[in-house]
Structure 1
């Protein structure tokens, strides 16, 4: 890579304030929730707009696609532009499109709004490299784990909140409330988030080309990205179809009860700081492998004993725990590869993850329409097993 395109890396402080870590964690949780509000609401949206299950499933998929596009084309700018200003600009965009989604009754407009909600809600992937940069080397995994736990809990609790709001106030109310939350977060970050000087001075074109250079020259990055694609694909397939399973003939739950499964999954998300500490002490590989094994067990249990509510609950906890163990350890490994390029490293890694999420949502709906819940669980086992195969050799 041409050295004239890079500036010197700013020296991080010896410690990052605990209050700032929590602000970052809360922000990640609240912002990433934007792309998951729709999942418990799919049945309500389908009824309101007279859509089929297949058509309404595209709302979840296109939101994931938007998030992936944001990761690929927006997040690398964190190495080129001042991050705080970029974050506030993106949150403004998220606010606008959440409000559009909340006011529309048009399926095409809702799809377009969902795409841009995904694009502008990729803000957490700017905050995570910032947290990794501010943290000392010896506690980087721990700090990333704490910030990531906020993101993961936001993913899960968004379903709980959304399911309750949708059942009692209507699906549009959730999008409007999400827009209001963005305004609150913007005010908090404006006053508390520190400025972050860019580490890259080249053009946008050279910045994007450097992504391929990182992929080509860093085998551990390729392995982590591929692993994340398949594991997060399985995770997304599960959560996209869970609402149809739980509202189906076996359980006949309403959206508010379905949303509570996000709260159950948050128990598994508590593994995120543990994964970070494990990566700091023992290296990431053992935790990555353990997380994938736990995910496979979760899908097997839920597929075989799907009529037992207790087993489904246990499966949700195990699946989310496995996801966090693998993801945090992978991310800690990736951030250590090239400190001056952490936004771009995170772009490659998370773009792969959410490309897998988009694929998983699509394949999950196909599995559901062809074979219902057993097919979804089999799909999850296959996807995670591919990721496990890719980790047969250490990188």
Structure 2
């Protein structure tokens, strides 16, 4: 495969990430309206969000490793087509169980995002890997946050189902575009799927850098999920009583913050990934202070959202840079295993924030999100020397499989 990625290819790859990931997150700003139409009780609305994340988790474990075995360009096209099927099931769902099934199917195949990131890591020159990962990951953030605005507008005009029909169409279009635009990504003959799955298990057992970054990501995205899964509940209630369009517009604030962290990839290229992570986690923890103050004004909430999404993106890009640099020859399985922590954390945040809000109100949700952020900062503080010392493993038979971090 060619070394280096062109600007037009970066745009296509970022678009793939944006559209695929939106299939998981489009439900959040219309959660109240979708639950009402599907006949779900308010206390169980978190299931709609968690369904996509659980499907995503399974896809990370079972499907992303295929990227280290087969042609990633072809795999990206297939996964996009299957994501379209899940989105269409959701759009046509007559009741809650069918909608949950559709969201789970969409989430399962939306792991095309991680196959795409692995493609970028493999195709990039070493000096541009962080920059390219940052650019493509910005597409993920645009999808996560931009779809909130789109879903909100469509929810108030055409209906919440329209956004899933649109996602299905865009997935099909991008599947064709990928085939025309990207170079083939052929795998080394002899690599077996079972071997790749086994290597993922060894990562968790033996790779300290991987485990520390996975735990940080778990808590970071639990905090992220706490905000974005619970925000629609508090903004649709008194004293604000916002509709889905107004709620969706808060995604613009998050988008501004996340795109501001686009330089995290360049900073990581210069060897500052660990310092970026620590600083960003401090910002993430502090962001919950203004987020919790929604009684009299929304300006503090907006400022907190910008800070939170800036911090999440900076940590996420830095982590992927460290891990793909440590494992350049099997980026697919490494990213898949790493993102399993992301998915489980997001699902935890979605479930606990709806439970906390229903039981004790928005302040309880905010305390929950802040606790997750503080947990991530604690893990970083306890493990930060791993990043400086390099790629460390336990002594033993796996040493040859896990070479030293350059």
Q: Aligning the two structures, in what range does the TM-score lie when normalised by the shorter sequence? A: over 0.9
1:220 aligned partner: 209
Change (3 A) 1:335 1:170: same
Separation in structure 2 between the aligned mates of residue 85 and residue 37 of structure 1, nearest angstrom:
26
1:179 aligned partner: 168
Separation in structure 1 between the aligned mates of residue 190 and residue 57 of structure 2, nearest angstrom:
24
Change (3 A) 1:43 1:373: same
2:342 aligned partner: 353
The alignment yields a C-alpha RMSD, in angstroms, of: 1.4
1:394 aligned partner: 385
Residue from 44, 55, 72 that aligns with 1:83: 72
2:396 aligned partner: none
1:367 aligned partner: 356
Residue 33 of structure 2 corresponds to residue 44 of structure 1: yes
Structure 1: stretches of 5+ with no match in the other structure: 1-9
**What CA deviation, in whole Å up to 9, does each residue of 1:127-159 have, x standing for no partner?**
111111111111211111011011111110011
Do the aligned partners of 1:266 and 1:320 also contact (CA within 8 Å) in 2? yes
1:333 aligned partner: 322
Residue 266 of structure 2 corresponds to residue 277 of structure 1: yes
Residue 374 of structure 2 corresponds to residue 385 of structure 1: yes
TM value normalised by structure 2: 0.92
1:4 aligned partner: none
**What CA deviation, in whole Å up to 9, does each residue of 1:17-60 have, x standing for no partner?**
12111211121111111111111111111221232112222111
Comparing 156-165 and 268-277, the one that deviates more:
268-277
- TM superposition shift of 1:323: 0.5
- TM superposition shift of 1:304: 4.0
1:136 aligned partner: 125
Structure 2: stretches of 5+ with no match in the other structure: 387-406
1:146-295 alignment to 2 at 5 Å?
Answer: 146-199=135-188, 201-295=190-284
Separation in structure 2 between the aligned mates of residue 303 and residue 103 of structure 1, nearest angstrom:
36
**What CA deviation, in whole Å up to 9, does each residue of 1:68-123 have, x standing for no partner?**
11111100110011111111111121111211211121211111111101001111
Separation in structure 2 between the aligned mates of residue 97 and residue 134 of structure 1, nearest angstrom:
29
Comparing 228-237 and 262-271, the one that deviates more:
262-271
Residue 291 of structure 2 corresponds to residue 310 of structure 1: no
Comparing 41-50 and 146-155, the one that deviates more:
41-50
TM value normalised by structure 1: 0.94
Comparing 305-314 and 335-344, the one that deviates more:
305-314
Do the aligned partners of 2:45 and 2:354 also contact (CA within 8 Å) in 1? no
- TM superposition shift of 1:305: 5.2
Separation in structure 2 between the aligned mates of residue 296 and residue 361 of structure 1, nearest angstrom:
18
Do the aligned partners of 2:23 and 2:103 also contact (CA within 8 Å) in 1? no
**What CA deviation, in whole Å up to 9, does each residue of 1:337-388 have, x standing for no partner?**
1111100110111111111111111111121112211111111111111111
Comparing 181-190 and 237-246, the one that deviates more:
181-190
2:399 aligned partner: none
2:57 aligned partner: 68
